[in-house]
Amino acid sequence: MTDRTVLHAVDLGRRFGKHVALRGVDLELAPGRVTALLGANGAGKSTLLRLAVGLLQPQTGSLRVLGLDSCRDAETLRQRIGYVPDRPDAPGALTVDELCRFAAAHYRRWDATRVDELIDRLEVPRRQRFRTLSKGQAMGAMLVLALGHDPELLLLDEPFGGLDPLVREEVLRCVLDAWRGDERTILCATHELELAARIADDVAILAEGALCAHASVEDLLGTDAPGDLPRGLHAALVRATRTSPSHAETPHLETVPC
């Protein structure tokens, strides 16, 4: 691990009862890069992100984020991390404006001007109660809340799943713009290979709780299937990079053995 390593997991493990969600994960993220965390449903992607943001504690191994212990320094880390969960979970009775005022009181670096720009860009209704928002509007609101305090690390858990194509594209552009302007690091959990091919500098792949590959997109696609990466998944990633963003037949990881 270097002084600039954003996330450093060593032998990281977590289980829920008899179910092993993560086992022996070793992972390092460099600053200023977008990493797509790939894996089928149940592979451990959400668990890894929740550990990184301090919502869960590791049971084995260690996890340091931005140089801090993910458990002991969780409150400090939340000032520096933006997190979008796989299901929008803001209090349903509050409007977006009320949610933003609440967040502004808890984040020292809250940028009201930036928040207003994001709300307008993503067309999020300001005065509508959160529980009445469409899925796209709710995800847009969660992204606004995650970016409003200018985080150094942005954690995204399946942020594009089920969105209308036009909304999906705008959310995607918003995420990429948030990365391009700063030395921000993004870890995006997804099972969409086309999405990974479009946004990622690096790819980390989880299978049944274990990390089976971690490399730059260029290195991963420039070789035969490396390490424990199944050849079928490697071929699907290659196809995804050669496919138009609007191509309807881009495979998901559910269709590729890992």
Buried b vs exposed e over 170-193: b needs ≥16 C-beta within 10 Å? Answer: bbbebbeebbeeeebbbbbbbbbb
| pLDDT over 50 at 97, yes or no | yes
Please report how the helices 112-122 and 96-104 are oriented relative to each other, as an axis angle in degrees rounded to 10. Answer: 160
Confidence of residue 253 (pLDDT cuts 50, 70, 90): very low
Average pLDDT over residues 48-52: 96
Q: Is 13 exposed, middle or buried (0-12, 13-18, 19+ CB in 10 A)?
A: buried
Q: Residue 228: what pLDDT? A: 52
Q: Which of 27-36, 104-113, 121-130, 218-227 has the lowest mean pLDDT?
A: 218-227
Q: Residue 167: what pLDDT? A: 80
Confidence of residue 224 (pLDDT cuts 50, 70, 90): low
Q: Residue 248: what pLDDT? A: 35
| pLDDT over 70 at 83, yes or no | yes
Q: Residue 245: what pLDDT? A: 45
For the entire predicted model, the pTM comes to 0.85
Average pLDDT over residues 174-184: 71
Question: Domains of the chain (ranges plus CATH)?
Answer: 1-80+152-162+184-258 (3.40.50.300), 87-151 (no CATH)
